[in-house]
Amino acid sequence: MRQRELEVHLITNGMLISPQIIGALKQLGVKVMVSIDGATKATYEAIRNGADFDQVVQSARTYAREGLLEAINTTLLKMNYREIPGLFDLAASVGVKRVTIIGLKPCHDFLQKLL
């Protein structure tokens, strides 16, 4: 990808990380964005059923330490909009200077309830 001057970004939930993954991403020159949909454990885990807030934050720190973390992404919802300032603090604490806020466009009645 570097030879073709392509910029590649990987958006991940941050749940799976390993030295092998880190090495491959570095070798390919891929930048990582970790999706964190809440600044608190309670909110994040309510939105991301089955995910582990502490593990995801640690993954973001690891990606940042390895020079791979480009941004933290969050999807703006009723459940988390009050935590946006806290997400900026969280981003700073893991070592990244960019937070991307994504609006959810409902395409199903179920999604409308989240807005």
Decide if pLDDT at 98 tops 90: yes
Q: Model confidence at 112, in pLDDT bands (50, 70, 90)?
A: low
In this prediction, residue 44 carries a pLDDT of 97
**Residue type at 25 in one-letter notation:** L
Distance CA 99, CA 71 (A): 5
Distance CA 22, CA 92 (A): 21
In this prediction, residue 103 carries a pLDDT of 82
| Contact indicator for 13, 75 with CB cutoff of 8 Å | no
Architecture in CATH of 9-114:
Alpha-Beta Barrel (3.20)
Whole-structure pTM value: 0.85
Q: What is the pLDDT of residues 27-85, one digit of tens each?
A: 999 999 999 999 999 999 999 999 999 999 999 999 999 999 999 999 999 899 999 99
Among 21, 39, 14, 36, CA closest to 102: 36
**What are the strands, taking DSSP E only, across the chain?**
9-12, 31-35, 69-76, 99-103
In this prediction, residue 106 carries a pLDDT of 64
In this predicted structure, which of 31-35, 37-41, 96-100, 102-106 has the lowest mean pLDDT? 102-106
Domain locations in the chain as residue ranges: 9-114
